[in-house]
Structure 1
Amino acid sequence: MSTALASGFRDAAHDAQKVFRVLMDALARPTTVQPLALDLIPPAPLTPELASIALALADQDAPLWLDETLGSEPAVAQWLGFHTGAPVVSDPAEAAFALVRDPRALPPLDAFALGTEEFPDRSTTVVLAVESLEGGTALRVEGPGLPRPGTLSPTPLPDEFIDTLRDNRTLFPRGVDFIFAAPGALAALPRSSRLTEEA
């Protein structure tokens, strides 16, 4: 086993559960920033946050899709496959989880699995690596888990992302869930989130 492949979670079960709880909190309370600090050094350009989320969620039954930035580095797919057992697919519509290192190159919404009316959970969860969870375009949203409208301002965002969010909400209960992974923190906008008029 190479040193590079061995450098996953220090305590696989404990650390995966920790990340999973953070993710569930973020999805249950959209726009809230959740701290995520783990000692993880994946191969570049995979960020520690993207890697942590993949290790917590992906497995042999939950395929991963990598954007061009991540997919162009063979060590990334090798590392993810070793630690998760998840296949890496070339078609985002076949992925349970999409890891996006460059949000500005996000594919169109309909490129991903959007679920069905009978099985809306069979959709892709899109995980975007961002530089910060503040300082970008303010996304003011409401929906389940928000007693009052919340605001999230991740940066950078994909082009025309506000339109993407609006289109995503019209598909409900189908649609994708978005997770934003910044250095040391994450936040989420599940498919149930809807933009307010002020966004």
Structure 2
Amino acid sequence: MSLTLDMPAVAPLASLAPGFPDPVGDAQTTFRAVLDAMARPGRIARVTAVPGLDRPLSRAAAAVLLALADHDTPVWLDRVSAPALPYLRFHTGAPLAVAPDKAAFAVIGDPEAMPAPDRFALGTDAYPDRSTTLVIEVETLSAGPAAGWRLEGPGIDGAAHLAVTGLPAGFVEARAALAPLYPRGLDIVLTAGDRLAALPRTTRITPEG
């Protein structure tokens, strides 16, 4: 079903909010922050370049999309993030993906209602990069030894620890079910306010506590 049908009313903020104050410099800074987060899973980065944008996208989610999305990267929006469509079209030129598996990026504003992982593009064995990157808005992100997840895998020295609130029950298990498909899979950017953390497809999550 096309998201263009029965879409919620577009919020004025989404169409009027400014983008990066310094489009080139801020995009480069955010791009490096995302790359660093992907290279070091569990490390939290702060993104403060997008002024005054809190809904329907957090500052971190908006910055990620402003830095990475363009006219060649279709973006899929769930119902909560759909009012950001005019904002994203104006600032990035990214087209709307009418289905999750057609998207280069998918924005999940309501994780409880997010589609199953296998509904997104997982790439192919020959072209694993042709997969959807999920940008999931969560309630909180924090790191440290007392955090709720133990992370292991490439880019992590031993183990890292990350606590996330606002994800649905079964998220860890559903993501782990994709592991046998490697190199196919999904890369995930978690965003909360001006914070972001990444979960590359190679990262293993073990709940603790």
TM-score, with structure 1 as normaliser: 0.90
Structure 1 runs of 4+ aligned residues shifted over 6 Å read none
User: Residue deviations 1:76-120, cap 9 Å, x none?
Assistant: 111100100100112010100111111111110011000000000
CA distance in 2, matches of 1:165, 1:139: 14
In 2 relative to 1, CA 48–198 (structure 1 residues): closer, same or farther, beyond 3 Å?
closer
- Structure 1 equivalent of residue 141 of structure 2: 133
Change (3 A) 1:137 1:102: farther
Shift, 1:196, TM fit = 4.1
Per-residue deviation, 1:57: 0.5
Is the 2:61–2:135 Cα contact (8 Å) retained in structure 1?
A: yes
Q: Give the superposed CA RMSD.
A: 2.3
Distance 2:68 2:51 in 1: 16
Distance 1:56 1:48, change over 3 A: same
Moved more, 126-135 or 157-166: 126-135
Q: Which residue of 1 aligns with 2:98?
A: 90
Report the Cα distance in structure 1 between the residues aligned to 2:78 and 2:129, rounded to whole angstroms: 22
Letter in 1 for 2:56: P
Q: Which moved more, 1:109-118 or 1:2-11?
A: 2-11
SS at match of 1:79: helix
* 1:32 alignment partner in structure 2: 43
Match of 1:175 in 2: 185
Q: Does 1:18 align with 2:29?
A: yes
CA 1:197–1:138: 2 relative to 1, 3 Å: closer
Counterpart of 2:86 (choices 64, 78, 90) is: 78
Aligned residue type for 2:136: L
Give ranges in structure 1 of 5+ residues lacking alignment. Answer: none
Match of 2:198 among 185, 188, 199: 188
Residues 134 and 152 in structure 1, CA contact (< 8 A), matched pair in contact too: yes
Gaps of 5+ in 2: 1-11
CA contact (8 A) 2:50 2:63 kept: no
Q: How many residues align?
A: 195
Partners of 1:137 and 1:94 lie apart in 2 by: 34
The C-alpha deviation readout for 1:153-192, integer Å capped at 9, x for no partner, is: 1111123111122112222111000111111211111001
Counterpart of 1:133 in 2: which secondary structure?
strand
2:32 is matched by which residue type in structure 1? R
Percent identity between matched residues is 44
Contact 1:96 1:123 in 2 (8 A): yes
> Which residue is equivalent to 2:9?
none
SS at match of 2:136: strand
